[in-house]
Structure 1
Amino acid sequence: MCGRYTLLADEIEILNEFGIEREIDSYQPSYNIAPGQDVLAVIHDGKEKRAGYLRWGLVPSWAEDEKIGYKMINARSETAHQKPSFKNLMARKRCLIVADSFYEWRREGKTKQPKRIQVAGRKLFAFAGLWDKWVHNEKELFTCTILTREANDFMQDIHHRMPIILPRDKEDEWVTSGKMPPDEVHQFLQTVQPEELTAYDVDTYVNAAKNNDAACIKPIA
């Protein structure tokens, strides 16, 4: 599961980290990125990598109603290569979704404690994502979803699922390898080893998506 995350780096850091030459239109950092919002992603257009915005919540090209996107913020990597909604996207529409931390909620009795989770020793990273273009009644949307996997030992104490974070040396392979059979993409994801993570508690202030300031990431005792 991945339902909230952050991206606080400046534009130059992002361009340098992902080897992108073009500027990012209307880039804005965020302390509390939520489903339904536009999120920064990197794709390969056949010639070069480009960074731009996709709406978080996949609306497949064949969907009748864009509201389906609210149910498709994540895709299970174990079965995505077999599902009609994701199979073709696994083959040819892979993206990097840029982040520098994500939030997860650990159940503690009757309450849930939000935690901010980061990659140890690495400021910026990318979730493995899929994207699609949807056109209906002259309305056009570009949307995405984040691939997830079973939690590793570190995350199991917090949640049973986690987003797939691509190691730096796997990022280009994910977006630039062109069309691939979905089964091969699935096998590629199986080889991705989870990054070392760190976590700390933050206030339930982050629970409301409207809250988007430094208080979201402030550690609590």
Structure 2
Amino acid sequence: MCGRYALTATPKEISEFFDLADLDDFPARYNIAPTQPILVVMSSERREPGSNLPERRAFLARWGFIPGWVKDPKEFPLLINARSETAIGKASFRAAMRHRRILIPATGFYEWRRPPKETGVRPQAYWVRPKRGGVIAFAGLMETWSSADGSEVDTAAIMTTRANAAIHPIHERMPVVIKPEDFDRWLDCKTREPREVADLMQPVQEDFFEALPVSDLVNKVSNMGPDLQKPVAVSPPEEELPKKAKPDSSQMSLF
């Protein structure tokens, strides 16, 4: 899955990467968490010949997808990810897959390697970033949810796929990355059905990302500085083996 990510590129870098109109200034975000507002990119109306209007627009959406048919979000699970293998046919995402595919700008994401509980080893956080650096685009889905009082909120989810060989030792899932040359295809919901973009929902090539072990500062949403991405030393693999049983003693234990 993808439960935390970062967007530390400048507005100018993001505008150029996604071919957007100039964005308003905003700070780098090192620890984006579910339910927070996130930047998303959607296809706009096609521009007329000679027009300077962009074909894509960027806006904020709540990270946590709410299908349009949900009556009370408090009674509905928080959907921060959508599995690419099942999104086309799943009731929660079917309409968005057909009509509201989006791109989610990022500069990397965080993932946790979670050893078996019996090892006694704590989960290890990793900062996963593109080796070349810069901005990347996660595949996403959007839905505008309307409440009974008429208020509306744009909501979004990040699409995930099976992890490639490089990420699999950390986690079995990873975000779907859409390459710039495929932006138009992914965002074109008018002429391209979901099955026609299914080939884009695959793991990125194995040498695309690098994973750096980082401290557990990222676990806390209130930590938001660049120190979250500072690499740390990790325990040797031998320490993740099950602990040896203690020698038997003559004293009885209630446990």
SS in 2 for 1:52: strand
Say which SS state the counterpart of residue 162 (structure 1) adopts. strand
RMSD: 1.8
1:119 is aligned to 130
Q: What's 1:180 paired with?
A: 192
SS in 2 for 1:126: strand
Q: Partner residue of 1:50?
A: 57
The corresponding residue for 2:246 is none
Shift of 1:139: 2.0
What's the CA shift for 1:100?
A: 0.1
Taking structure 2 as the reference length, what is the TM-score of the superposition? 0.80
User: 2:2 maps to which residue?
Assistant: 2
1:212 maps to 2:224: yes
Q: What is the CA–CA distance in structure 1 between the aligned matches of 2:210 and 2:23, rounded to whole Å?
A: 31
Check if 1:31 corresponds to 2:30: yes
Higher share of residues assigned helix: 1
Q: What does residue 152 of structure 1 align with? A: 164
Find the structure with the greater CA-based Rg: 2
Q: Does 1:96 align with 2:103?
A: yes
TM-aligned CA distance change 1:68 to 1:167, over 3 Å: farther
Q: Is the 8 A contact 2:129 2:210 kept in 1?
A: yes
Task: Tell me, yes or no, if the aligned pair for 2:185 and 2:197 is still in contact at 8 Å.
Answer: no
Determine what percentage of the aligned residue pairs are the same residue. 38
- The aligned counterpart of 2:16 is 16
Q: CA deviation at 1:171?
A: 2.0
Aligned pair partner of 1:131 in 134, 142, 151: 142
8 Å Cα contact 2:161/2:201 also seen in 1: no
How many residues align structurally?
219
Deviation at 1:157, TM superposition (A): 0.3
Q: Name the TM-score, length of structure 1 as normaliser.
A: 0.92
Confirm or deny: 8 A CA contact 1:99 1:127 kept in the other structure.
yes
**1: CA distance between counterparts of 2:197 and 2:9?**
29
* SS of the residue 1:81 aligns to: coil
Distance 1:62 1:208, change over 3 A: same
Alpha-carbon separation, structure 2, partners of 1:193 and 1:203: 26
Equivalent position of 1:169 in the other structure: 181
Which structure has more strand as a fraction of its residues? 1
Does the CA-based 8 Å contact 1:134-1:140 persist in structure 2? yes
1:169 and 1:21 map into 2 onto residues whose CA distance is 19
Residue identity opposite 1:113 in structure 2 = Q
Q: Unaligned regions of 5+ residues in structure 1, if any? A: none
Q: Which runs of 4+ in 1 moved over 6 A?
A: none
Between the aligned partners of 1:161 and 1:35, the Cα distance in structure 2 is: 17
The match for 1:41 is: 40
